Amino acid sequence: MISAGKTKLKAVAAVIAFTLAAGANAKVTDKDIINDQATTNDVVSNGLGPRGQRFSPLTLINTKTVKDMRPVWGFSLGGEKQRGQESQPVVKDGVMYITGSYSRVYAIDAITGDELWQYDARLPDGIMPCCDVINRGVALYDDLVIFGTLDAKLVALNNKTGKTVWKKKVEDYKAGYSITAAPIVVKGKVITGVSGGEFGIVGKIRAYDAKTGQIAWERPTVEGHMGYIWKNRKKMENGISGGEAGKTWTGDLWKSGGAAPWLGGTYDPEVDLLFFGTGNPAPWNSHLRPGDNYFSSSRLGIDPDTGKIKWHFQTTPHDGWDYDGVNELIPFNYKDGRKTVKAAATADRNGFFYVLNRENGDFIRGFPFVDKITWAKGLDDKGRPIFNEPVRPGNPALSKDGKKGSTVLAAPSFLGGKNWMPMAYSKDTGLFYVPSNEWEMDIWNEPTAYKKGAAYLGAGFTIKSINEDYIGVLRAIDPKTGKEVWNHKNYAPLWGGVLATAGNLVFMGNPEGYLMAFNAKTGEVEYKFNTGSGIVGSPITWKMNGEQYVSILSGWGGAVPLWGGEVAKRVKSFNQGGMVWTFKLPK
């Protein structure tokens, strides 16, 4: 009798789930976003929750069952515009929302793979994305789908129709600004950074009322520029950020100082702070701007209500290697004896992994996560790098003809020990899963001057691989000890995000085209499937009608083929594409 009752209940539950899948309750609230990680029936934010841990508690697909996983549908992004697909899908009430290259958005029926609508941003001719025409995904809020465009706009679309509800110009694309990151929504505000550090833009973070598009605050990330709370456009108290021009910069260089927070942010409700990273100071030629060049190549703890910088931690002061400090800072707690440490971790382009106190930005520990770092000898007790001066590219002003400084061989290459591709943190194993690359570069400096809308580097470079048989390395790293628990080497450089699950699995795609699942504890490959083009997107997982699904975008591109120097040759045979693949276990 009891079991018959249970069956009946199950049937009712299935009907409810199916009704929800039809989009009956499609509004996303602040609570939905905060709780995103725990609510496995949807993925409503970038990073599977504002902390960006990219961890799912789902266990149906696990080390025992994953071998049976198979694709259930594929969706083509179509058109001629098949370039790098770096988007992370989100899913709400049975509808998947993704972005594609060239600032396109798609709504897809998550059960069948049928297209519901498509939005194309119709970009102007003069856009200036540095590193392929990519986009990394949307934010959901209320009944809106919000994303940033390559001409530096923020666009909010109705989730049912794909029609524009509001559109705001964040910055001037003709000056080199663009947006490629997924925005983050915190307490009703949609918050975005900007790209453009290679064009001497002024890095800034903007917050808008997510429902109306009304601007709330602006926080420039170059010292010398003031922040504003937009109500009355009042100059704000800047706290430790100061606002003094020229303090850590030389002359007027702060006016075109770069420090673009181009990868978007994470948020931790426990300490109520936003975490954004900032890119390289402009230009790359560091001899033109002696000083630490705040707040370039840093992580910032920011008040989400006002934009005030509460703390900053600079990973590469006076950067001379394009070691953008934008990589995601992931909040996590760990036990130190009986004490709970409110920490956050990040794996920097410069090759060091940092564990910070996320309440105040204090350095807890740091260690190399790649095999070869030559630009620094290590970190001091405050986490500041100990520079290896001979590995700073030479000053062109000291050369015979003044045109080219001495070339140095530096590791990692400017594309980084890790680039934008997000790592994952598993609460179960206590490990971070870091997609890293082993490469180095010849780099030299040249004279340069700022000109609006022109590349502003003052440097030349060639990226080289270090090892014959691999560049990419997926690493499982213990943040308490710095110990590498396992690694998986990959021939091509890794450029896609990672997902960890309570099924003791780690998912990641590679440029060779495979979606792979690894045993989270041992690194053993438990599953692989070739998607037909290189993967540079980030996987998600969710539950629908009682089944666990996994989705990922496939579509080779991004910065490696464009900037990779000798390494680009290694990947030149990889085919382009543009697909979403969705997997589950057979019934």
CB of 260 to Ca ion, least distance (A): 7
Give the nearest distance from C-beta 263 to Ca ion in angstroms: 11
Tell me whether residue 175 is exposed, middle or buried, using C-beta atoms within 10 angstroms of its C-beta: 0 to 12, 13 to 18, 19 or more. Answer: middle
Question: Which one of the spans 135-143, 173-181, 276-284, 352-360 is the region binding Ca ion (CB under 5 A)?
Answer: 276-284
36 binds Ca ion (CB under 5 A): yes
Q: Note whether 277 binds Ca ion by CB under 5 A.
A: no
Q: Among residue numbers 284 through 323, which ones bind Ca ion (CB under 5 A)?
A: 322
Write b or e for each residue in 313-325: b if 16 or more Cβ atoms lie within 10 A of its Cβ, otherwise e. bbbbbbbbbbbbb
114 is catalytic: no
Closer of 50 and 555 to Ca ion (Cβ): 50
How far is 52 from 267, CA to CA, in rounded Å?
Answer: 8
> What's the one-letter identity of residue 475?
R
Distance of alpha carbon 342 from alpha carbon 360, whole angstroms: 10
Q: Tell me, rounded to whole angstroms, the distance of Cα 135 from its chain centroid.
A: 10
Binding piece for Ca ion, criterion CB under 5 A, among 17-25, 175-183, 279-287, 305-313: 279-287
Cβ-based burial of 30 (10 A; exposed 0-12, middle 13-18, buried ≥19): middle
* Nearer to Ca ion among residue 42 and residue 440 (C-beta): 42
Q: CB of 520: closest distance to Ca ion in angstroms?
A: 20
In whole angstroms, give the CA distance from residue 287 to residue 346. Answer: 28
Residue 260 or 345: which CB sits closer to Ca ion? 260
Among the residue ranges 86-94, 189-197, 240-248, 288-296, the one whose residues contact Ca ion (CB under 5 A): 189-197
Contacts with Ca ion: how many residues (CB under 5 A)?
Answer: 8
> Could you tell me the smallest distance in angstroms from the CB atom of residue 137 to Ca ion?
15
Of 238, 280, 504, 548, the one binding Ca ion by CB under 5 A: 280
Determine contact, residues 274/283, Cβ cutoff 8 Å.
no
Asked whether position 42 contacts Ca ion by CB under 5 A, the answer is yes
Q: Which is nearer to Ca ion, 39 or 462 (CB)?
A: 39
268 binds Ca ion (CB under 5 A): no
**Residue 36 or 223 having the CB closest to Ca ion:** 36
Residues 6+ away with beta carbon under 8 Å from 277 = 261, 263, 298, 299, 300, 324, 325, 326, 327, 328, 329, 346
- b/e sequence 73-88, b meaning 16+ C-beta within 10 Å: bebebeeeebbbbbbb
Q: Which of 36, 292, 322, 348 is catalytic?
A: 322
When asked if residue 501 is in the footprint of Ca ion (CB under 5 A), the reply is no
SS3 268: strand
Amino acid (1-letter code) at residue 546: G
Q: Does 324 participate in binding Ca ion (rule CB under 5 A)?
A: yes
197 near Ca ion (CB under 5 A): yes
DSSP 22-68: TTTT--B-HHHHHTTTT-TT-B-STTSSTT---EE---SS-TTTGGG
- Asked if 93 interacts with Ca ion (CB under 5 A), we say no
Selected binder of Ca ion within 21, 23, 26, 39 (CB under 5 A): 39
Of the two residues 331 and 513, which places its CB atom closer to Ca ion in the complex? 331
C-beta nearest to Ca ion: residue? 39
- The total number of residues written for the chain in this structure: 587
Q: Residues interacting with Ca ion, by CB under 5 A?
A: 36, 39, 42, 197, 279-280, 322, 324
Which positions are annotated as active-site residues?
Answer: 322
